[in-house]
Amino acid sequence: MASFTDEILFIETPIDVMFFMHKAFMSHAKKAETMSGLLKTSDDIERLKPVIDHWLRHITYHVDTEDMFLTGPLQELELHDGRLVVRDNVIEHDEIRSGKIALEEFLSNGPTAGLTSLLESLVFAAEEEQHQELVQNVENLKLVIADALGEEKTSNRTIRHLHQSILALRVVEWDHFENEEAFVLPLVREQMTHNEQLKCASKLLFDSSSENPRWIIDDIYDGLSEEEIGEVEKLEREIQNCGLLDL
Ligand SMILES: [Fe+2]
Ligand SMILES: [Fe+2]
């Protein structure tokens, strides 16, 4: 069985382009993780932000489009252990969205972002009356703690927590891609015709709502070997020839 972790991938049926997309998206995640492992200063965090934005933009478009055009039309299948293939895929998409929101919130909190979990435990430990007061003064409290710990400690904490959030999302994404390839793609091949798969692939590769509808496919070409590029180009020509692109 093919996987996005394979060295060279081939397209036998249009939905196999999913392996190429998953491979490219995991390379974004890997780049963000590697950079976050080397963070030392807030300037490094600023340099990391566009890499994270790029990664999150791709994965968000991917899961939103799949909910509509991939799992949306599929009939449910219950596995022998009781798992439901379509439902579980949608749940995993929601987990990716939650990881993305957590990462974005973390980045928007600035240099004291790493204090959030410390703050949450302090708020939790406080008596009920103090609790109310603390919740109302979250931002003030962050500054007070940042001051007490010193700038270096808070930024080190932020860096550690940022790395942890990136790693957590990457693991969720990796597991999801493996599950989707193992359980959802066989259902797609069974239930969708060649042309239906082609339409789904075109929605996943081209963003008709964007000024640059090719932003996904061009990025995927960037992350593939020459043989793999040839495979996706063949599929792109078929999509064009079938008149599926209304860009
Ligand atoms: Fe996918
Ligand atoms: Fe997915």
The alpha carbon of 186 and the centre of ligand 2 are apart by a number of angstroms equal to 14
* Least confident range of 7-11, 14-18, 129-133: 129-133
The answer to whether 49 and 106 are in contact (CB under 8 A) is no
The alpha carbon of 99 and the centre of ligand 1 are apart by a number of angstroms equal to 16
N-term to C-term CA, the chain: 34
What range defines the domain where residue 185 resides?
33-193
> What pLDDT is stored for residue 4 in this prediction?
81
44 within a domain of the structure (yes/no): yes
Ligand closest to CA 71: 2
87 within a domain of the structure (yes/no): yes
The alpha carbon of 93 and the centre of ligand 1 are apart by a number of angstroms equal to 9
8 within a domain of the structure (yes/no): no
93 within a domain of the structure (yes/no): yes
User: Greater confidence, 108 or 209?
Assistant: 209
Residue with token string 């008149």:
243
Q: Is the pLDDT of residue 188 over 80?
A: yes
> What are the Cα distances from residue 218, in Å, to 30, 38, 203, 207, 223?
19, 28, 14, 11, 9
71 within a domain of the structure (yes/no): yes
Counting Cβ atoms within 10 Å, is residue 34 exposed (0-12), middle (13-18) or buried (19+)? exposed
Q: Which residues pair with 84 in a beta bridge?
A: 78
217 within a domain of the structure (yes/no): no
132: Cα within 13 Å, side-chain hemisphere: 2
DSSP label at 182? I
Residues 197-222 have pLDDT tens digits of 999 999 999 999 999 999 999 999 98
**pTM: predicted TM-score of the whole model, two decimal places:** 0.82
The alpha carbon of 151 and the centre of ligand 1 are apart by a number of angstroms equal to 41
> What pLDDT is stored for residue 192 in this prediction?
96
In degrees and rounded to multiples of 5, residue 69 shows phi and psi of: -110, -15
- How many structural domains compose the chain? 1
Q: Is the pLDDT of residue 176 over 60?
A: yes
C-alpha to C-alpha distance for 5 and 224, rounded to whole angstroms: 12
17 within a domain of the structure (yes/no): no
101 within a domain of the structure (yes/no): yes
The alpha carbon of 96 and the centre of ligand 2 are apart by a number of angstroms equal to 9
Residues 120-154 have pLDDT tens digits of 655 555 555 555 554 555 556 556 556 665 666 66
> What pLDDT is stored for residue 190 in this prediction?
96
The alpha carbon of 93 and the centre of ligand 2 are apart by a number of angstroms equal to 6
Mean residue pLDDT of the chain comes to 84
